[in-house]
Amino acid sequence: MYVGVTWGTRAPAKSTSDRLSAGGNDRHTSAAMLSICARHTRGGIYLCNYLTTQRAGGPAPCHVSTSQPSLSKGHRDYSLPNASWSQNLQDLYNKYQELTKNGDWKRLPSYNTSVHHREGDPMDGERENRLFTRNLDKDGVGLEYCMFYNKAEKRMVCIFQPGPYLEGPPGFLHGGCTATMIDSTAGGGAVCTVGPVFTANLNIDYRNPILLGSTAIADSTVEKVDGRKVYTRCTVRGHDDKVVYAEATGLFIKSSNL
């Protein structure tokens, strides 16, 4: 499936997230081309073809080109910048987008369902299910994030900005949400490295609280693959690398029956 999206100029951001963050300016976001399919089946997580379906030689033909996020068949790509993104998140996005240019890094599109974006998926159609990390309808109040994968380094980076609906301690991100981002980032890296997996174990040391509206990076690497076992390590740090928020290891088990 190919989906191309062109973004236009947007109004200055006024979200809580932006007020809380150091940045808050909005900016033009360049066109992005992407292709991916992802699916969850029986709890196993798939990310298919995204490393192979991007066409060489520049942007692929677009199915969608609008000044708004792609909503073709409801398949908006939530990994693209929107008006709730802080300047810090936008800057990191631009940095990693730049790194995709030589092919070392790939940006992963992200949808709010696990299966709807797959053309011809038998589960396509009206479904109530939402991807946990994309279950809020309003931009900026929940998780804003984008993942980039480096195949050679078996490394997944997720830049993210937690919004005001994710509060744990007053003003700070709930630890369960931090765990979710670690699970998703390390799990996504495991999937991209070996195929569908289940999370078997997550071990997290929380080092510093994450301010709501700030910008953070979850940086995960697959350290070892031993049979069906995929060992990962993940660090969550601030956008400027000055603060470590959490350190984690994760064990993912390659699905045996998918």
184 touches ligand MFK by CB under 6 A: yes
C-beta of 163 vs 196, nearer to ligand MFK: 196
C-beta of 15 vs 184, nearer to ligand MFK: 184
Q: Which stretch binds ligand MFK (CB under 6 A): 5-13, 72-80, 122-130, 179-187?
A: 179-187
Alpha-carbon span 79 to 62, nearest angstrom: 17
The first and second tokens of residue 47, run together, are 């990310």
Alpha-carbon span 157 to 105, nearest angstrom: 10
Q: Which stretch binds ligand MFK (CB under 6 A): 65-73, 180-188, 203-211, 242-250?
A: 180-188
199 touches ligand MFK by CB under 6 A: yes
Given 4, 140, 188, 196, the residue binding ligand MFK (CB under 6 A)? 188
194, 225 Cβ separation under 8 angstroms: yes
135 touches ligand MFK by CB under 6 A: no
Whether 183 is catalytic = yes
CB of 171 to ligand MFK, least distance (A): 27
Given 73, 130, 174, 228, the residue binding ligand MFK (CB under 6 A)? 228
How buried is 146 (Cβ within 10 angstroms: 0-12 exposed, 13-18 middle, 19+ buried)? buried
232 touches ligand MFK by CB under 6 A: no
C-beta of 43 vs 103, nearer to ligand MFK: 43
Given 7, 93, 198, 245, the residue binding ligand MFK (CB under 6 A)? 198
38, 48 Cβ separation under 8 angstroms: yes
CB of 185 to ligand MFK, least distance (A): 8
176 touches ligand MFK by CB under 6 A: no
CB of 186 to ligand MFK, least distance (A): 8
147 touches ligand MFK by CB under 6 A: yes
Strand partners, 161: 144
Name the active-site residue from 18, 26, 183, 219.
183
Give the residues lining the site for ligand MFK (CB under 6 A).
43, 45, 47, 108, 147, 183-184, 187-188, 191, 198-201, 227-229, 251, 253, 256
Active site residues: 183
